[in-house]
Amino acid sequence: MRAGGLSFGNDACMDLIQRKKVKIVIVAEDAAERTKRNFERICSQNHIPIYFYGSIENLSRAIGKPNKAIFGIKNQNFAHEIERIINGGEVIG
């Protein structure tokens, strides 16, 4: 987050997706169904991979910001590593 490779929140991520500034989007599995549908649609239109992963609480704790359900990863290398972890390519720790 300090390096500026991460964006979070509905409005910020939606703007960056439309400007094609994010490499992947992560949405918490327990986010609102409408939110998940909207982001799935906009990511599909812009050819940006989207993952539904973890809970709002766990993802928020990971970045140190409360109540965040949507994350946009802007850095290509960071996005690649997160995709590998989500897809089971590596175990954290």
Every domain of the chain and the residues it spans: 21-86
| Predicted structure pTM score | 0.84
- pLDDT at position 93, please? 44
- Amino acid making up residue 33: E
Mean pLDDT of 30-55: 94
The mean of the pLDDT values for the chain is 88
Tell me how far apart the 2 most distant CA atoms of the chain are, in Å.
35
pLDDT given for residue 3 in this prediction: 59
pLDDT tens sequence across 4-33: 678 988 999 999 999 999 999 999 999 999
Residue 83: per-residue pLDDT:
87
**What pLDDT score does 90 carry?**
59
CATH number for region 21-86: 3.30.1330.30
Please state, in angstroms and as integers, the Cα–Cα distance from residue 47 to each residue in 2, 12, 14, 42, 56, following that order: 26, 18, 14, 9, 24
- Which helix (H) or strand (E) covers residue 72, if one does? strand 70-73
